[in-house]
Amino acid sequence: MRAQIDDLRYRYHVLNDPEVTDKMYEGLMDELRKIEQEHPELITPDSPTQRVAGKPLDEFKKITHTIPQWSFNDAFNEKDITNWIERISRMLSRSERDPAVAGEKEYGSVQADLNYTCELKIDGLHIVLTYEKGLLKTAATRGDGKVGEDVTQNIRTIQSVPLRLKEPVNLIAEGEVWLSDKMLKKINDQRLKINEPAFANPRNAAAGTIRQLDPKIVAERKLSLTTYDVSKIGTKIERLKDYKISVETQAGELKLLKDLGFSTDEDWRVCKTQTEIFKMYDYWKEHRHKKPFWIDGLVIKVNQKKYQDALGFTGKAPRWAIALKFPAEQGTTKIKDIFVQVGRTGALTPVALMEPVQLAGTTVTHATLHNFDEIKRLDVRIGDTVVVEKAGEIIPKVVRVLEKMRTGKELKIKRLKDCPICGSPVEQKIVGDKKKELSAALFCANPKCYAQELERIIHFVSKKAFDIDGLGEKIVEQLIDEGLIKNPADIFSLTKGDLEPLERFAEKSAENLVKAIEKAKSVTLPRFIFGLGIRHVGEETAIALANQFKNIEKLMKATNEELEAVEDVGPRVSESIFEYFKNKESKKLVEELISNGVKIKKQEKIETGNPGSGSKDLKLAGKTFVLTGTLSSLSRDEAKEKIRQLGGSVSGSVSKNTDYVVAGENPGSKLDRARELGVKVLSEGEFKKFLGV
């Protein structure tokens, strides 16, 4: 009966091929329990009934690893892999010319013979399993590589872990414990109901589960374990030769693990060239969500064991293997300082200055903390070690604090009462349709605050607004400091003579900037509206307003009701527009812009939502697109422009009215939302075919 139950377990949890229903399986288990209760002398450690056994532990004992547990060096691009391959090839060339190394081949023959196994790098918790005569003896975490924690009692609860191997071998195997997304959602739903914080990701949940002292809790969470390495195998293995499996290669080890009854991932392959490696890398970078576990890259290993032995180890990692990482979406770093930015609308945004961390293929040093309520919720302090996250092109954000890493020297952040730039009082603004709810953000009450003026002008000259080439942030700041401009309208009164005496300016650069300013005087109405920097008015809303009102004068006189009649303009946005144009300073700015020579082009209805588009091919008319992630062949602005040229519109959020979501690399939550709503998702290749480019 034990053999039958174990076979069914193996088919279900390892081969993913259930042969009987859960009810039938539990019926057999109940029958086995009754037999063992009546005959306790028949109970053995490898019995299926003994997976969840024993009382909760008081603490985990330490285990000294027989084989040191190494971590891999990381690679992030083709250059890193090229350097690694060249390095190991040189080492093998030298070692094989040494008579002490069997073979004594020439350098060229090493390259001809050398190949690599490429395996999916599962983002889970590393576990070391020790078997004696085929029976599971211990399971331990990696720890510091020399000493780990004994988590045998918990690992036994995992159904994909064999308690008895198919052959009575002495073996040390390594693998990764992981949790499925589906199970993570279930666990987090339960935790939130009892006011416990949700796990940030499956890896954290798996690690937290394995550290539970009660194995019953571990069993309920249905972890899995996938093995990928044999770090030691007994020399006297009866019948090993009958397997017809070579353990002289990494590929042979993977096959051996599967034959012994372990769960292994099937999506590995042997690659001969770097081109083959990156073909596999590119495929899984795009399709990583097809697997039930999280993948954060590939592990590339020299396939031949004789070459592994020749290459050996550095002080912390094997020379014969490397982890080729996908662009990270999350990382861990330390907060060096927290400062507050004041934006063009006066909003105060706390920003964390961090030690450099790699996220989504780039090094970042800053992350947003959104507002002071968020600082309080996270309990984030200067000096904290934190988890930061980046999705698509969104600025990184701090998602949680690692409280156990605190030293006691961390500094708390107090809520500001005054603007850090001008010293004026700060306030919360009324939000919501009922005008009773206050904003989470704080705002500087002084509309002439230097920081607000600076950000407003930077926004005004940006690519999507007046697009004045040569007016970068540093130049704008210099012009304000010199007293040459105090608002956007002053830009159009600048002369070559004003600019030439300034640092950074020579005769030619001053002349070029004056020409760029003159060119920007002719502008479409949508760009003009967007450039004003009205709160809640983005690029798409500016286009909708231009289509509705045709000229700036009508827009300035529009009532709340008229504004709300515009597509996609709700009460909050209409209120913001109405209040902006009611303000005397705003009206004065528009008047000064026009008196300084700005001419708004005659507005015709823009079917495409794109200022100045003259395309007559409107095959995307009426279709709404949402872009998420990074496109490799187009910038996001170029993609938007092409959609609009063909009559489509672009939205910033996914709803039931969205027709297509275009997903590039590192897509964010918009992709998940699209799947929830059943919105058609286009890859970059499909999107380009759609556009006919």
Active site residues: 121
**Of 109, 78, 115, 77, which Cα lies nearest the Cα of 93?**
109
In the DSSP assignment, the letter for residue 418 is B
Q: How far are the Cα atoms of 19, 157, 364 from residue 5, in angstroms, in the given order?
A: 11, 15, 52
Phi, psi at residue 248, to the nearest 5°?
A: -90, 0
CA distance linking residue 297 with residue 669, whole number of Å: 21
Query: What length does the chain have?
Result: 693
Token pair recorded at residue 527: 């760009």
CA distance linking residue 21 with residue 36, whole number of Å: 23
Query: Cβ(223)–Cβ(158) under 8 Å?
Result: yes
User: How far is Cα of residue 90 from the mean position of the Cα atoms in its chain?
Assistant: 36
Query: Cβ(426)–Cβ(416) under 8 Å?
Result: yes
The CA radius of gyration of the chain, in Å to the nearest whole number, is 32
CA distance linking residue 337 with residue 111, whole number of Å: 50
Rounded (10°) CA dihedral 557, 560, 565, 568:
110
CA distance linking residue 447 with residue 82, whole number of Å: 55
**Of 442, 443, 471, which Cα lies nearest the Cα of 457?**
471
The string of DSSP letters for 324-364 reads EEPPPSEEEEEEEEEEEEE-TT-EEEEEEEEEEEEETTEEE
CA distance linking residue 319 with residue 323, whole number of Å: 11
Token pair recorded at residue 547: 């289509």
CA distance linking residue 525 with residue 523, whole number of Å: 7
